[in-house]
Amino acid sequence: MTSTATTPWDAKTLAGWAEPHLAAVEAALSRWVGVDAPVLLGDAMRYAVLDGGKRLRPLLVLAANEAVGGNAHAALRAACATELIHAYSLVHDDLPCMDNDVLRRGKPTVHVKFGEADALLAGDALQALAFELLAPEGDEVPAAMQALLCRLLARAAGSQGMAGGQAIDLASVGIALNETQLREMHRLKTGALLQGSVEMGAACGTVSPAALAALRDYGAAIGLAFQVVDDILDVTADSQTLGKTAGKDAAADKPTYVSLLGLDGARAQASQLLADAIAALNKSGLADTAALHALAHMVVDRDR
What CATH number did the domain enclosing 196 receive?
Answer: 1.10.600.10
pLDDT (tens digit per residue) in 65-93: 999 999 999 999 999 999 999 999 999 99
d(CA 69, CA 262): 42
Q: Is residue 199 part of a domain?
A: yes
pLDDT (tens digit per residue) in 126-144: 999 999 999 999 999 999 9
- Which of 230, 242, 238, 234 lies closest to 270, judged by CA? 230
Q: Is residue 269 part of a domain?
A: yes
Q: Is residue 6 part of a domain?
A: no
Q: Is residue 28 part of a domain?
A: yes
Give Cβ neighbours of residue 12 (< 8 Å, ≥ 6 apart). none
* Structural domains of the chain, count: 1
Q: Look at residue 45 in the predicted model and tell me its pLDDT.
A: 98
- Higher-confidence residue of 11 and 199: namely 199
Q: Is residue 187 part of a domain?
A: yes
Q: Is residue 53 part of a domain?
A: yes
Q: Look at residue 3 in the predicted model and tell me its pLDDT.
A: 39
Q: Give the range of the structural domain holding residue 66, as residue numbers without chain letter.
A: 11-301
Pure H helices in the chain:
11-32, 39-49, 56-68, 72-93, 110-114, 116-133, 143-157, 162-171, 179-186, 192-203, 209-236, 239-242, 248-251, 257-284, 290-301
Burial class (CB in 10 A: 0-12, 13-18, 19+), 276: middle
Q: Is residue 208 part of a domain?
A: yes
pTM above 0.85, yes or no: yes
Q: Is residue 2 part of a domain?
A: no
pLDDT (tens digit per residue) in 195-244: 999 999 999 999 999 999 999 999 999 999 999 999 999 898 776 666 66
Give Cβ neighbours of residue 260 (< 8 Å, ≥ 6 apart). 177, 178, 179, 182
